[in-house]
Amino acid sequence: MKLPEYMNKESSHVTNSLNTMTLTGISLLWGTMLGLLNPWWTIGTVLFLTAGYGSEINKRKESEEISVRL
């Protein structure tokens, strides 16, 4: 069964890497650096920063045809 055409279109919504998860990670980082949080929060800080930075939505680049000349 084939999907309808309107479901195959790519979303035009694009976000940057500064989102809620990244801001939470930055807040935890500052709290740890200022001594307000236990240093064990560094593990959570790294997880929040990587999850936040990796969750942005980027527009796909047009695929370029690669030709090989022999």
Mean pLDDT by 10 residues, the chain (70 residues): 71 71 92 94 91 70 60
- pLDDT at position 45 is 93
* Residue 49 forms part of a structural domain: yes
* Residue 3 forms part of a structural domain: no
Give the total number of structural domains in the chain.
1
- pLDDT at position 59 is 60
* Residue 37 forms part of a structural domain: yes
* Residue 20 forms part of a structural domain: yes
* Residue 7 forms part of a structural domain: no
- pLDDT at position 56 is 65
- pLDDT at position 20 is 86
| Full domain range(s) for residue 46 | 16-54
* Residue 61 forms part of a structural domain: no
- pLDDT at position 51 is 86
d(CA 15, CA 31): 26
* Residue 44 forms part of a structural domain: yes
| Contact between 21 and 52 (Cβ < 8 Å) | yes
Let me know how many helices (H) and strands (E) the chain has, helices first: 3, 0
- Give pTM, 2 decimals: 0.60
* Residue 64 forms part of a structural domain: no
